[in-house]
A and B are shown apart, each in its own frame.
Chain A
Amino acid sequence: MMAAQRSMLELGALHYAYPLRGARRAVLRGVGLRIERGELLALIGANGSGKTTLLRLMAGTLRPDAGDVWLEGRSLAAWDRRGIARRIAVLPQAVDLPSGFRVAEVVEMGRAPHARRLFGSTAQDVAAVHAALRDADALELAERGVDELSGGERQRVLVAMALAQEPALLLLDEPTLHLDLAHQVSLFRTIGRLRRQRSLTVVAVLHDLQLASALFPRVAVLDEGRIVADGAPEQVLGPEMVRRTFGVAMEEATGIDGRRHLVLSGH
């Protein structure tokens, strides 16, 4: 019955506990979420709220203790790793790009789930790598060595690698952790553009409330292993919610753009 609805990704009553010295520490306690095609969703929560665990369950690199994840209506358990990688790409926090490779070579590693030739690449591979580099604004980096890249450039290369997978769903794991503000904004502008150009569905795990509320039309808040709020940022991110889930006193203010923003309470 879930299968009939064919959401991009659907999470049903997910439970997960990490093994910890013989005992198990519950991280997720019944998370349910439905993500439709083309959505742009920010998943926020305090440290330890379980958001990175949730992302791993979505990517299929962890299996839930109870509940299930359905990708395009089919349980992730029924997909093989390669099949998942053709539908879902993950932009990690940081990856050590293996030194000695050129950017184009690393981006081509994103073609691995589609690989058909024993040694060479197909015309589709070449076209996909080119399009990925172009769309990630990394075309002029193609021939550079990965060791010569700045932080922002590395991020673009990782985006290109994810795009080379030609995924339907892009998962971002706190992708701005190591970027300055200008690069953070530019990354999300790129992601927003790509979502339209490539009809991507995007789920981003974020800890930055400002970024989430400014750039994402839908925000889900994870607190102590449960989704405690889910909706448009102006509905979800009230001062009360922030105080409860993040333990920080904030108040609303109207910015010069006429929109309401959360700011830290003064003393």
Chain B
Amino acid sequence: MRAAAAAARPMVGGPSLARTTLVLGSAVLLVGIVGVVAVGLGSVGISLDDTARILAHRALGLPLPTTWSPTSETIILELRLPRVLTAMLVGGALATAGTVFQAIFRNPMADPYVIGTAAGASLGAVLGILAPLLVPALAIGAGSEWLGLGVVQALAFAGGLTTVLVVFAVARSAGRVPVVTLLLTGYAVSSILAAAVALLMFVAGRALASIVAWLMGSLAGGSWSQLAIAAPLALGSMALLTLRWRQLNLLLLGDRQAEHLGLDVEREKLMLTVLASLATSAAVAISGTIGFIGLVVPHLLRLVIGPDHRLLLPAAALVGAALLALADLAARLAGGVPVGVLTALIGAPFFVWLLRRSASFPGLGG
């Protein structure tokens, strides 16, 4: 018995190539299928066959004979494709950031907005919406774009990122940032910012509808010019986060043991927080605050593929992308319901079901 056990080498070195291929392969396939379906379906009927051909011709550069109408091509390439890609970018960024924050805080309730990104971005966006109305001089410049981003998006991005840095600085004492302090500071700062947003909504008058629409989260504004700015930011931080899988795994052991294993814990937490907030802010700036994707996807995947961040991070990004694209498709087909409302409606009961199904949270104790 003992000899047999000793002869069999323990499986180390992470998930096998076969498993990695299977997991990430299925996730990529899911993204591909959802992508084609989401681009193909809409108020104007374009056959899936034509959709796939247009995408293959334009995106992959395959030399296909043009059997489709120019209108179809415009709808697919200028309207639906950027919107679906925006949904995927936002979903992937939120799921990645959620995974990272749950590991940093070792808390299953953490989501991408936990330390104030959403509240900060909301205040920024609301100010962006109201500024031209409050200060007429700004109205001239309101329609203008800065590097492809509108004023609202730029302020939302800046608001989200600034808030996180402020929260981090406030929670820091004696060179350390205890996670509980960080969590509570994030909550307090979020509450202050939410109060400011509420106050601005109270005095907003006619602009109230635009504010509410932004707060509910929508992908209707997805465009190539927005993607051109948001995608490098979000994808860049997601890639850097994925490279930090080992550090994230160590954090699951607790700060002290992670330190014993050679991790500079405070520096690491700051770096991870900044990267995850960068991805979140880039996503929120172009979509508003969309809930539950960043909370539910990491949990779902930990149950299916386990808690090792080496596989969890890329899988979460892909599945988050597919799920939000799917949710946005449903929102579009349901007559333009804000997608944030839909993710909450579907996400929350699903989350409760997950909770009841799994008594514990893999990788997060509890």
Given contacts A104-B12, A109-B261, A112-B261, contact A61 B307 (CB under 8 A): no
B306, A59: Cβ atoms under 8 Å? no
Q: Which residue of A lies closest to B103 (CB)?
A: A98
Compute how far the CA of A92 lies from the CA of B6 in the bound complex, rounded to whole angstroms: 27
Q: Which residues in B have their C-beta under 8 angstroms from that of A165? A: 261
Q: Which residue of A lies closest to B253 (CB)?
A: A95
Contact of B363 among A83, A100, A118, A120 (CB under 8 A): A100
Q: How far is the CB of A148 from chain B (nearest CB, A)?
A: 12
Q: Which residue of B lies closest to A61 (CB)?
A: B259
Compute how far the CA of A108 lies from the CA of B15 in the bound complex, rounded to whole angstroms: 12
Q: Which residues in B have their C-beta under 8 angstroms from that of A19? A: 174
In the complex, whether B58 has a CB less than 8 A from a CB of chain A is: no
Q: Which residue of A lies closest to B7 (CB)?
A: A139
Binds B, one of A66-74, A125-133, A234-242, A256-264: A125-133
Compute how far the CA of A103 lies from the CA of B308 in the bound complex, rounded to whole angstroms: 13
B262, A104: Cβ atoms under 8 Å? no
A126, B13: Cβ atoms under 8 Å? yes
Of A98, A115, A126, which is in contact with the most chain B CB atoms at under 10 Å from its CB?
A98
A99-141 near B? 1/0 per residue, CB < 8 Å = 1111111011110110100111100011001100110000110
Q: Which residues in B have their C-beta under 8 angstroms from that of A59? A: 260
B14, A119: Cβ atoms under 8 Å? yes
Of A119, A133, A142, which is in contact with the most chain B CB atoms at under 10 Å from its CB?
A119
In the complex, whether A27 has a CB less than 8 A from a CB of chain B is: no
In the complex, whether B365 has a CB less than 8 A from a CB of chain A is: yes
Compute how far the CA of A130 lies from the CA of B263 in the bound complex, rounded to whole angstroms: 23
Chain B, 262-318, CB within 8 A of any chain A CB: 262-264, 302, 306-308, 310
Q: Which residues in B have their C-beta under 8 angstroms from that of A119? A: 14, 245, 310
In the complex, whether A207 has a CB less than 8 A from a CB of chain B is: no
Q: Which residues in B have their C-beta under 8 angstroms from that of A90? A: 257, 260
Compute how far the CA of A119 lies from the CA of B239 in the bound complex, rounded to whole angstroms: 13
In the complex, whether B5 has a CB less than 8 A from a CB of chain A is: yes
Given contacts A92-B260, A95-B253, A112-B263, contact A126 B9 (CB under 8 A): yes
Contact of A121 among B12, B254, B363 (CB under 8 A): B12
B363, A134: Cβ atoms under 8 Å? no
Of B259, B310, B364, which is in contact with the most chain A CB atoms at under 10 Å from its CB?
B259
A85, B262: Cβ atoms under 8 Å? yes
Q: Which residue of A lies closest to B20 (CB)?
A: A119
Given contacts A98-B364, A99-B362, A100-B306, contact A140 B2 (CB under 8 A): yes
Interface size grouping (class) on chain B: 35 or more
Compute how far the CA of A147 lies from the CA of B358 in the bound complex, rounded to whole angstroms: 13
Contact of A96 among B6, B10, B306, B365 (CB under 8 A): B365
Of B2, B252, B306, which is in contact with the most chain A CB atoms at under 10 Å from its CB?
B252
Contact of A139 among B5, B307, B361 (CB under 8 A): B5
Q: How far is the CB of B41 from chain A (nearest CB, A)?
A: 37
Q: How far is the CB of B176 from chain A (nearest CB, A)?
A: 11
Compute how far the CA of A80 lies from the CA of B14 in the bound complex, rounded to whole angstroms: 26
Q: Which residues in B have their C-beta under 8 angstroms from that of A96? A: 253-254, 365
In the complex, whether B345 has a CB less than 8 A from a CB of chain A is: no
Q: Which residues in A have their C-beta under 8 angstroms from that of B306? A: 100-101
Of A82, A99, A115, A143, which is in contact with the most chain B CB atoms at under 10 Å from its CB?
A99
In the complex, whether A37 has a CB less than 8 A from a CB of chain B is: no
Q: Which residues in B have their C-beta under 8 angstroms from that of A54? A: none
Contact of A129 among B10, B245, B363 (CB under 8 A): B10
Compute how far the CA of A134 lies from the CA of B12 in the bound complex, rounded to whole angstroms: 14
Q: How far is the CB of B211 from chain A (nearest CB, A)?
A: 41
Q: Which residues in A have their C-beta under 8 angstroms from that of B264? A: 80-81
Q: Which residue of A lies closest to B365 (CB)?
A: A96
Contact of A89 among B10, B13, B260, B360 (CB under 8 A): B260
Compute how far the CA of A13 lies from the CA of B208 in the bound complex, rounded to whole angstroms: 66
B10, A81: Cβ atoms under 8 Å? no
